[in-house]
Amino acid sequence: MLFRALWIPAPRLILSGACFAGVTLACAAASKEVALDVGHSTATQGAISARGVPEFEYNLALAREVAAALERAGLRVRLIGAAGDIEDLASRPRAALGSDFFISIHHDSIKERLLERWQHEGESRRYNDRVAGFSLFVSRENPRLAQSLACARAIGRMLREKGFTPSRYHADPVLGESREFADEPNGVHYFDRLAVARHAGMPALLFEAGVIVNRDEELRMRDPAVRQAIADALAQGIRQCLN
């Protein structure tokens, strides 16, 4: 398939930096660890893009970009689910125990009944070009809700500053699931029963980077420059809220 292969840079997961007198921000950042969860798995691959690529491939590519950006920002990283072998959702936040923050990386779709058909490379594929943008989700059942929400807001602000637009369709009763906004301008929703957030003992959220059943947005999510900009926004937002 023409668009099948995703370029995935090799991760460097742990940054070992020196803290020294007078550089308190750098020292504070270096002491923080982010648990970075790759959404879905090789067996349960998530949404299928408009060109037939499983969501897991997009999640893994972006997560590795985010890991590198977090390290550049002076944060330590614990990558979870990169081997694609974690099926139990509750085991993902358990694997993050001891970290300061948990974020699960995903790419979005829309309700099955709203997908249309088109032909791509001789195959019938499903798409919907009416929805686009990023979304962030926090759970009110997370014991660290205030900080979860602060981090989600910071990430949303950074993404908007870099030119990304939040998707509002999740709040729509027809297109989405009537997900209540926690912070509408920054694309943050409440999703109380969200397993990876409610089971986490640390501040946690789920991030939908873009809608891969949208044919134009799928191509943007494949662009290394776009992935880099998303990763930098996440790293800057996370560092800001953790400090």
pLDDT digits (tens, 9 = 90+) for 155-194: 999 999 999 999 999 999 988 999 999 999 999 999 999 9
What angle, rounded to 10 degrees, do the helices at 55-72 and 224-242 form? 50
**pLDDT band (50, 70, 90) for residue 14:** very low
Contact between 80 and 35 (Cβ < 8 Å): yes
Q: What is the mean pLDDT of the chain?
A: 90
What angle, rounded to 10 degrees, do the helices at 224-242 and 145-161 form? 140
What mean pLDDT comes out for the span 69-74? 97
Confidence (pLDDT) at 13: 44
In the predicted structure, residue 57 carries a pLDDT above the cut 60: yes
What mean pLDDT comes out for the span 81-103? 96
In the predicted structure, residue 108 carries a pLDDT above the cut 50: yes
DSSP string, 115-155: -EEEEETTEEEEE-TT---BEEEE-TTSTTHHHHHHHHHHH
In the predicted structure, residue 27 carries a pLDDT above the cut 60: no
Q: What residues form DSSP beta bridges with 77? A: 34
Alpha helices in the chain (DSSP H): 24-30, 55-72, 91-95, 145-161, 195-198, 215-222, 224-242
Give the separation between CA 153 and CA 19, rounded to whole angstroms. 28
In the predicted structure, residue 18 carries a pLDDT above the cut 70: no
Give the separation between CA 77 and CA 71, rounded to whole angstroms. 7
CA distance readout (Å), 56 to 60, 73, 120, 158: 6, 25, 20, 24
Confidence (pLDDT) at 15: 39
CA distance readout (Å), 119 to 51, 127, 149, 195: 9, 10, 41, 35
Instruction: Name every residue whose Cβ is closer than 8 Å to that of residue 186 and which is 6 or more positions away in sequence.
Output: 136, 152, 153, 155, 156, 157, 160, 166
Give the separation between CA 141 and CA 127, rounded to whole angstroms. 33
Q: Which residue has the tokens 């499983």?
A: 54
**pLDDT band (50, 70, 90) for residue 48:** very high
What mean pLDDT comes out for the span 200-221? 98
Confidence (pLDDT) at 10: 46
**pLDDT band (50, 70, 90) for residue 29:** low
Q: Which residue has the tokens 């195959």?
A: 123
Confidence (pLDDT) at 36: 98
What mean pLDDT comes out for the span 126-141? 98
Give the separation between CA 108 and CA 133, rounded to whole angstroms. 9
What mean pLDDT comes out for the span 120-126? 97
**pLDDT band (50, 70, 90) for residue 216:** very high
Give the separation between CA 183 and CA 232, rounded to whole angstroms. 21
**pLDDT band (50, 70, 90) for residue 234:** very high
Q: In what order do the strands lie in the sheet with 101-108?
A: 76-80, 33-38, 101-108, 204-211, 135-138, 188-190, 181-183
